[in-house]
Amino acid sequence: MSRLVVVSNRVADPSKASQSGGLAVALADALAERGGIWFGWDGKVVEKGTRVPPATHTEGRVTTVTLPLTRKDYEEYYLGFANSVLWPIFHYRLDLSDFRTAYVKGYQRVNSKFADALAPLLKPDDLIWIHDYHLLPLASELRKRGHGHRIGFFLHIPFPPSDILAAAPEHQLLVRSLFSCDLVGFQTNTDLANFERYVLEHQGEESDGGHLKAYERTILVGSFPIGIDAEAFAALAHTPKADAQIQLLQRRTIARTHIIGVDRLDYSKGLPERLRAFRRLLELYPQHHKSVTLMQIAPPTREDVDAYTDIREELEALTGAINGRYGDFDWTPLRYIHRTIPRPTLAALFRGCQVGLVTPLRDGMNLVAKEYVAAQDLNDPGVLVLSKFAGAAEELKEALLVNPYDIDEVAEALEVAITMPLKERQERNNALLERIRRHDARYWQENFLSALEQTSLGAAA
Ligand code: ADP
């Protein structure tokens, strides 16, 4: 079995992987089994001219190698090109993207630095697995340095339609770089189809049985929907401490039905639209006053990017307006928590809430949707209301699928969820749970790596 080299923007501390969720665990497991390296940014920013060699930490067969970014790299690569250009565009939000020439240069520079730092660590037989939109050019940087390894790339966020991507600076270069890989994986068939269409329109010659030929190379492409560690999450939701937290939740309010939303405070998550849909529910169904609450947990994220400040202000104003209009001395309809919550508490809250409201405007996958289902009690499960624009909707057909832009439709789905009979809740939950268990994080990781191993070495070189 080849050694594995995982490269991602941030490196999770393998000893704390279980706190970061399924993805970190899946990658830490793959590394532990094969032995290998996890390489990436350590999350620190240093001033220009400070030379910090990569830090190495080995535990068992796994070595993490991390390096800091300079302030300029942080601003141009991380805040700039990755999070102010690629993130909005790949989430179909051209209106929020902020192009600057310096960003493109910073992005290329950091990818080139990563390749320089990684190159001396590679052994001839290594499998290299690159993750996400921060590192689209990394494979081509490694090829430029003469590395003929098998390289896989997985995109965690959506891949936009061709016409949207064509508005991104250097879009041809970005896609061309992916053709330095042997395998390129996406979350959904929609993302895969968008990629294939872009390639065929701009460059492509042939597409056949998962192989795509363009830019004088043939690569394997596929969709590999990410999963969670369903068993571990269910166990987290069913501890004596979780029972006590759920009882507390129920005792502290007169409401009988709790709706929960949990998302980073990101504009892709559709939070203002979600609060408006909840307000519409209260407008349309006065019988739910005092019997329903929405708890929205939205920890801060990327606060150095301007677009994120606006959304925070909008949410705070909406929360105040809804509670002011509908709240009473004995009932607060909406609770908005702008903090990170320990994972065990989150699991307990999912189990204790009768509706999971997951309505991103666009999302690569959305693990919260899967976690909500995994946490439910089989005897009395809650109902998942899910955006049809989350990657998870391709698999989770038994959720109540909604258009998150359509406030009335989401309000109606909430009404259906709140009043759904037990038998239907159980049928839907069982079907969802079965798929989430089967297609878990391990299944994702093993599928991707076995597809990568089957690519013929050097075929794409
Ligand atoms: P994204 O990767 O865009 O943030 P996902 O839904 O795919 O969205 O994954 C988010 C992960 O972060 C989930 O595992 C979720 O449980 C976790 N998470 C989200 N909000 C919080 C919070 N307030 N506290 C702790 N964990 C959170």
Q: Which of 73, 132, 182, 363 is flagged as catalytic?
A: 363
Cα–Cα distance measured from residue 292 to residue 275, given in angstroms and rounded to the nearest whole number: 14
Instruction: Say if ligand 1 is within 6 A of residue 366 CB.
Output: yes
Q: Which of 156, 171, 238, 289 is flagged as catalytic?
A: 156
What does each of the 461 residues of the chain score in pLDDT, given as a tens digit?
Answer: 889 999 999 987 666 655 565 578 788 889 999 999 999 999 999 988 778 889 999 999 999 999 999 999 999 999 999 999 999 999 999 999 999 999 999 999 999 999 999 999 999 999 999 999 999 999 999 999 999 999 999 999 999 999 999 999 999 999 999 999 999 999 999 999 999 999 999 887 777 779 999 999 999 999 999 999 999 999 999 999 999 999 999 988 888 999 999 999 999 999 999 999 999 999 999 999 999 999 999 998 888 887 788 888 999 999 999 999 999 999 999 999 999 999 999 999 999 999 999 999 999 999 999 999 999 999 999 999 999 999 999 999 999 999 999 999 999 999 999 999 999 999 999 999 999 999 999 999 999 999 999 997 654 44
CA of 207 to the centre of ligand 1 (A): 35
Residue type at position 255: A
Instruction: Say if ligand 1 is within 6 A of residue 262 CB.
Output: yes
Atom 14 in ligand 1: residue holding the nearest Cα: 21
- pLDDT at position 309, please? 83
CA of 262 to the centre of ligand 1 (A): 7
- pLDDT at position 356, please? 98
180 close to 142: Cβ distance less than 8 angstroms: yes
- pLDDT at position 459, please? 47
**Contacts of residue 450, Cβ cutoff 8 Å, sequence gap at least 6:** none
Residue 211 bears catalytic tag: no
Closest ligand 1 atom to 298 CA: 23
Dihedral-angle region of residue 234 (phi above 0 means left; psi in -120 to 50 means alpha; beta otherwise): alpha
**Contacts of residue 191, Cβ cutoff 8 Å, sequence gap at least 6:** 155, 158, 159, 223, 364, 391
Cα–Cα distance measured from residue 62 to residue 184, given in angstroms and rounded to the nearest whole number: 24
Measured CA distances, 460 to 191, 212, 444, 447 (Å)? 22, 11, 23, 20
Residue listed under structure tokens 């759920």:
246
Instruction: Say if ligand 1 is within 6 A of residue 360 CB.
Output: no
- pLDDT at position 16, please? 66
Cα–Cα distance measured from residue 191 to residue 156, given in angstroms and rounded to the nearest whole number: 10
Residue 363 bears catalytic tag: yes
Report helix angle 343-352 to 230-237, nearest 10.
Answer: 80
Closest ligand 1 atom to 20 CA: 14
Rg over alpha carbons for the chain, rounded to the nearest Å, is 23
b or e along 263-276 (b: 16 or more beta carbons within 10 Å of the residue's beta carbon)?
A: bbbbbbbbbebbbb
- pLDDT at position 20, please? 61
- pLDDT at position 61, please? 93
